[in-house]
Amino acid sequence: MAQEEQNHDFFKILLTAVRDILAPGILIFSDSEARAELFGTLGLDPDADPGALPDITNLDSYIKSETDEVDTFKLISALADLTQLMLALEGAIRGAIAAEDNPEFALDEIFGAFLNTLLLDFIRRKTPEVYAMVTLFQEVTQRTAAEGGMNNFFDDVIANFFSRLSSGLESEESTKAVSDVVFLGYVLLLYLIERLILNKHDVDNMTIKAGYGFEGAITSETPVADLISNRFISNSITLNPVDDPDNEITLFNSFGFIPEDHGGASFIMNLSGELDVVIPIEDDLSLKFDASGEGIFRIGKNPEADAGKNNTIKVTFTHERKKADKYSLMDAPVIKLGFGTYAFSFTVVPDDFEIRAKLEMPFEFGRGDKKGFPWDLLPEKVDEKIPVELGYSLKRDFFFGGGGSAGTGNGEALPAEGGNGETEDPAFHEMLIAKILNAIDLRIPIHKSIGDVLGFEILNIRTGVEGNLARIQLETSLDFWIKFGSVVTISVSRLGFNLNIDKRDDNGGLGGYDILPTIKPPNGAGVRINAEVITGGGFLYLDDEKGEYFGSLELSFKELFDLKAVGIINTKMPDGSEGFSMLIIITAEFSPVQLGFGFTLVGVGGLLGIDRTMDIEALRLGIRTNAIKSILFPEDVVGNITRIINDIRTIFPIHEDQFLVGLMAKFGWGTPTLLSIELGLIIELPNPRIVILGVIKCALPDEDAALLKLQVNFLGVIDFQNKYIYFEAHLFESKLVGLTLTGSLAFAVAWGDQSVFAISVGGFHPDFRDYPTVPTLPGAFREMARIGLSLLSGNNPKLTIECYFAVTSNSVQFGAKLELLASGPMGFNLYGMLAFDALFIFDPFSFIISLEATLAIRRGTSLLFGIHFRGVLSGPTPWHVEGEVTFAVLFFDVTIGFSATWGDPPPGISAATEDLLLRVTRELDAIQNWRSQVAEFQHRFVTLRNREEVDGDASLVVDPFGELLFSQRSVPFNYEIEKYGNTKPKKEKRFEITEVKVGSDIQQISFEKEMFAPGHFTKLSEKDKLDRKSFEPLDSGFRLKDSGKILTAAPHLDPTVMDYELNYTHDDKKKSASKVSAGAFSQMARSAAVARSEISWRIQTPGIKNKPEDVAVNKGSYAIADTSNMKEYDQSLRGATLAEVKAKYQKLVEENPELGSEIQVVESFELAGV
């Protein structure tokens, strides 16, 4: 039944429990015979007389009072009685020890053991089930002082529990210790579920059974298996559904820990059966089991990739409390915390397990019935519900508040400077406490104001731990605002108090700790101005720990312009070293300035970045998600500061010695503005890149009632270092008379190692796999949106049309698709589709055109009634058409297929031949195929003019210490040539450069590569034409390494004498001398051209000594693998390109056809053991 909301005095409940714990002790000390027996048991003088215990009338009166509100004065009196009582009990034992005059008796030990005995007796009386658990764990024994000391609940039970749990999984013995603790606790948990939930609430259609350990004797025949069984637990859950009691459902489960010396510490579970049921215990109580299993799976080291991937266990207990109880903590002001709806869950999946608790805590704060100052400053009543979530999982570690995580994210440890930290490793329970405290990060919404002057928004509660509990810090802070009239409002974030609890070297202080409260400075502050001439505001965020400071400013100058600024400064680099990095964006928008032809200038802006670079992939994502609006004339920079700064961090990451300079402009067209264009030009130096950002918006007839709403976000990149030009555009939230518009466009040209030309509007043909590859942009041309229009508003019914067009260096592609979906009840729907796709390949020329149509009535995706047609036309030599028509009625379907071929057969290699040797000879003789380069570690200290410009001589000038390159694009080297276009080789089919001589000396060379079309030299199937890359890098020549022999290569090379060209300038005007300070000179010297030269000490010397080598990604390669085990067939057959390895594969298969089914070509990373 739903519980009515009630108020309870929290301190009354607490004092009642303490009074109940001490009650047996009070009775013992009040009875002389019982007291003598106790002292005798403790080994003390039975005749010792401690005197009478103090009167505790105030304590008993407070406990028996009928009020549910805290009475502060009576509470103080009750606490005073309790303090006197505790001192009297301690004094009685102290006196008995003094009378015995035995130095071996320790007051702390005996008095602590006495209190723990009272606590265990209280647990036995109030919760016998918990006491039974303690007994079963065998952590509590009936020891007397004479036998070694009384029981200590916290030391002997709690600490020993965590000590055994922290034994780890290193060996069989330690794993057994962990298993004893965890699985006995699990069995007892099942027992409590059955006893306190199922039996108590008469749930008789579910049976839970469990067993831990191995009943048989451990034998020498199977010792390992017997040991494993001895620490595994098995349980079953059997359910007889109320609506079908004869249908018994059982879930079986066995699990246990595996030690490190058995192949890696892990957790293994064997699950079979399926159970998905919610058991209503009462109106507001329920127990849900959601489990299914199909075998064994493993969590931990070396997990099985696919074993039991669909296994899951989730048990959830929920108590839906309609009205929560509230517990009063203070009456002036009124502070109450409640206990509302809560749920506990336990989840196990193949890659994680999680324990989670969710709780809804009502929170009440206010002045209550208090009147006058200062109570009138407080709100009358704040009544909120605080969602609290805490738990533990392998992936998230401990988490608290739904978002915090121990050591990461919102829950990272608070900064705790100083403190007397210890260097030894913490005990397990200390580490556990530290993790839990580091996970607590609560933000409690208040949203209350005092008049219109002071407003409280968020109460922040956060804890953190440093070292081995060397410092514990509690933060209590507020987010609030203050108004100064109607002109200025100041907002402050996280201003409050820190309670620092520092561990002492000695045992002084409170429990060995010093407690020091300090003021917590704010994390941020904001101001808002609402004056007659200026309106707006700004916000500044400070994070000294991370060395990050960011802020925003937005001011509107009446009838002049609107100024916006966003900036971020970092004083710590990503590697933790000290440094400086900054990025600032400033924009100004004003009344339109006429430019002509209907265009107006409505805004300008700029960007400056120091030690920042551009992440082009993040910019690509930004034009899809509209994140570039955080850069181009951002809106509401104060309210959106968090999102804007996160986007800036992602798009402009920190990078030393890189600088950004940007200009922005905002244009409009029409009066009022019908078309707006926002443009940004960003230049990155010294590694030059140019980026153009833009947003084009159009709203017709106007923004408020737009029939056409169009927004195009675009990005252009010119990367000189990686040698490419790239452009991409996307439609964002565009509509035509309320109908959604989608689409994207991409264009790329690359002229470096990878030659690329491609343009796509809406994507590519569905069967096309040779996507253009742009250097450093792996996501280019991927996941492009079709040019599409939703012809109906809403999602049911849905009618869409899509199309695309694309051109690559070897293909033209286009297509369209019309799709209809109308959904009805029970999953039934009407589905129709008409699709057309065409793909034309240039070299060798071919095409494929497909047409598909469907009209059907379905349930989900299952066809009930319908017709489906698919046809494919390819050609032109030969022409081929094939397809099928399918009719379906319920469980029956009929398919009629057709196929026809006509026309000329596939063009073979014509009788015409090509003298490839002659072609190669001509390429060797062509001077334009030869180049001279300076060696990688050599530096030319002068600039040489082109000789042809001087005297018309086109001969090649070779640096005597340089490198000589030969590369051509006519015939690939080290490649088996089957054909040359549509001709066949006259004689030679393979060309190799085996050696290069300078004089009589053989020189070391390396091969150069150019982009060749494999289809021009190799016979490809129709499937290969679609799947293979149109162009691949193949050997095209060689590079002659510098060996000093070029100097002595005469008469093969003609020496050329180079003279310096001298120019004199005459400036008769005398310059006056000026003095420059040493600091200014040093700064200018660091920025001068000499300092930035690649041979300067500054560039050659690493900034950080002993830093690790730069991370580099190995270039991909291809290999031939054995299909039975994916091991490499022959390492000598590995190649850098697919074309090379495919040719080697074909040669192997031709020599031995049986290998065709035994080997395959794969990328090298796919090989087993790599």
Q: What is the pLDDT of residues 365-407, one digit of tens each?
A: 777 776 766 666 666 777 777 777 877 776 666 777 643 333 3
Q: 550-554, 555-559, 942-946: lowest mean pLDDT where? A: 942-946
Cβ 74 vs Cβ 177: under 8 Å: no
Cα 619 to chain centroid, rounded? 18
Q: 597-601, 610-614, 943-947: lowest mean pLDDT where? A: 943-947
Task: Identify the pLDDT of residue 466.
Answer: 79
SS3 content of the chain, % helix, strand, coil (to 5): 25, 40, 35
Q: What is the pLDDT of residues 22-56, one digit of tens each?
A: 888 888 887 777 877 777 776 677 777 777 788 88
Q: 444-453, 861-870, 951-960, 1128-1137: lowest mean pLDDT where? A: 951-960
Nearest to 120 by CA among 101, 139, 102: 139
Task: Identify the pLDDT of residue 1046.
Answer: 63
Task: Identify the pLDDT of residue 730.
Answer: 95
Residue type at 284 in one-letter notation: D
Q: What is the pLDDT of residues 121-146, one digit of tens each?
A: 888 888 776 676 666 554 433 433 33
**How far is Cα 944 from Cα 1061, in angstroms, rounded to an integer?**
10
Q: What is the pLDDT of residues 288-339, one digit of tens each?
A: 878 777 667 776 655 554 555 567 788 888 888 777 777 777 666 777 777 7
**How far is Cα 635 from Cα 289, in angstroms, rounded to an integer?**
49
* Stretch 1163-1170: mean pLDDT: 78
Cβ 422 vs Cβ 384: under 8 Å: no
**How far is Cα 467 from Cα 46, in angstroms, rounded to an integer?**
47
> Angle at Cα 712 formed by Cα 709 and Cα 718, nearest 5°?
170
Q: What is the pLDDT of residues 405-450, one digit of tens each?
A: 333 334 344 443 444 444 445 555 566 677 777 777 777 777 777 7
- Percentage of residues in the chain with pLDDT exceeding 90? 18
Look over the chain and give the mean of its residue pLDDT values, rounded to a whole number: 79
Nearest to 228 by CA among 271, 266, 191: 266
**Residues 6+ away with beta carbon under 8 Å from 195:** 129
Q: Report whether pLDDT(603) > 90.
A: yes
Q: Report whether pLDDT(744) > 50.
A: yes
**How far is Cα 566 from Cα 637, in angstroms, rounded to an integer?**
7
DSSP H helical ranges for 913-1043: 916-925, 947-951, 1022-1027
Q: What is the pLDDT of residues 983-1007, one digit of tens each?
A: 888 888 899 988 888 777 778 788 8
Task: Identify the pLDDT of residue 1111.
Answer: 63
- Residue with structure tokens 């082109």? 946
Task: Identify the pLDDT of residue 408.
Answer: 37
Q: Report whether pLDDT(1080) > 90.
A: no
Count other C-beta atoms under 10 Å from residue 196's C-beta: 12
* Stretch 521-543: mean pLDDT: 87
Question: For residue 526, what pLDDT band results from cuts at 50, 70 and 90?
Answer: confident
Q: 77-86, 616-625, 877-886: lowest mean pLDDT where? A: 77-86
**Residues 6+ away with beta carbon under 8 Å from 691:** 614, 616, 619, 680, 681, 682, 683, 684, 715, 716, 717, 718
- Percentage of residues in the chain with pLDDT exceeding 70? 79
Cβ 1119 vs Cβ 1162: under 8 Å: yes
* H or E segment to which residue 192 belongs: helix 172-192
Six-digit token string for 46: 């039975």
* Stretch 1012-1031: mean pLDDT: 77
State pTM to two decimals: 0.58
Nearest to 124 by CA among 103, 151, 146: 151
**How far is Cα 796 from Cα 820, in angstroms, rounded to an integer?**
10
Task: Identify the pLDDT of residue 788.
Answer: 93
* H or E segment to which residue 87 belongs: helix 72-100
Q: What is the pLDDT of residues 960-989, one digit of tens each?
A: 777 888 999 899 998 888 888 878 888 888
Supply the DSSP string of 18-83, one letter for each residue.
HHHHHHHHHHHHHSHHHHHHHHHHTTS-TT----PPPP-HHHHHHHH----S--HHHHHHHHHHHH
Q: Which 3 state secondary structure label does DSSP give 969?
A: coil
**How far is Cα 765 from Cα 1022, in angstroms, rounded to an integer?**
15
Cβ 1024 vs Cβ 767: under 8 Å: no
Q: What is the pLDDT of residues 97-126, one digit of tens each?
A: 766 665 555 666 677 777 777 887 888 888
CA torsion sign, 907 to 911 to 912 to 918?
Answer: positive
Task: Identify the pLDDT of residue 409.
Answer: 38
β-pair type (488-503, 471-484): antiparallel
Task: Identify the pLDDT of residue 404.
Answer: 37
Six-digit token string for 30: 């009040």
**How far is Cα 613 from Cα 680, in angstroms, rounded to an integer?**
16
**How far is Cα 320 from Cα 360, in angstroms, rounded to an integer?**
10
* Stretch 1125-1146: mean pLDDT: 84
Task: Identify the pLDDT of residue 142.
Answer: 40
**How far is Cα 585 from Cα 648, in angstroms, rounded to an integer?**
10
Q: Report whether pLDDT(569) > 60.
A: yes
